[in-house]
């Protein structure tokens, strides 16, 4: 269910800064699949390492532009715009970190790995439904919004996420 939810959520978020999903379904032999744009390129984490600790970083590709703080700040701003769009559609990423921001060879910035995404919930625990919110089939995502559930990368979690206070999470939890 989580894999299918990731495909549904990612596919519903049509934004230049979010990797597109082209197809979602179940194979003839049963396992689910989704097909998305092939993405390659370094992560924001790789580029930050090249900028701040070049000895520990993977070597840059010859065709890549030089790593500069202004260039990385543009990518960061683009990732923030992609997240603002996701939040406007009622979706939290819950595992946003430099490893999940890919930088393409032509200036693209893509937020990837929406496997822990969940609907932004109202205070009563129900999904926040607005005209722009994505709509999931009944039953999907219901297990993602229970208090006490801690998922994500500890170093990048908001305090409420680390405490398992899922009902208190909102767009600021990703920020």
140's CB contacts (< 8 A; 6+ apart) are 1, 4, 5, 8
Active site residue 113: no
> Are the CB atoms for 121 and 150 separated by under 8 Å?
no
Catalytic site residue from 1, 56, 95, 113: 95
- Tokens 């600790």 correspond to what residue? 53
Percent helix, strand and coil across the chain, each to the nearest 5: 35, 15, 50
> Are the CB atoms for 151 and 124 separated by under 8 Å?
no
> Are the CB atoms for 161 and 173 separated by under 8 Å?
yes
- Active-site residue numbers? 95
């Amino acid at each position: 269910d989580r894999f299918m939810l990731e495909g549904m959520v990612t596919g519903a978020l049509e934004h230049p800064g979010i990797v597109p999903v082209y197809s979602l379904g179940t194979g003839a032999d049963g396992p689910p699949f989704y097909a998305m744009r092939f993405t390659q390129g370094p992560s924001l984490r790789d580029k930050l390492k090249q900028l701040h600790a070049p000895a520990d970083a993977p070597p840059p590709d010859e065709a890549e532009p030089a790593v500069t703080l202004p260039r990385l700040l543009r990518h960061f701003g683009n990732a923030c715009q992609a997240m603002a769009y996701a939040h406007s559609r009622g979706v939290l990423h819950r595992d946003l970190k430099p490893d999940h921001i890919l930088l393409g060879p032509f200036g693209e910035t893509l937020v990837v790995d929406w496997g822990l995404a969940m609907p932004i919930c109202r205070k009563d625990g129900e999904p926040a439904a607005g005209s722009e919110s994505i709509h999931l089939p009944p039953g999907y995502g219901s297990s993602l919004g229970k208090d006490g559930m801690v998922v994500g990368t500890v170093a990048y979690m908001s305090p409420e996420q680390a405490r398992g206070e899922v009902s208190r999470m909102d767009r600021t939890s990703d920020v």
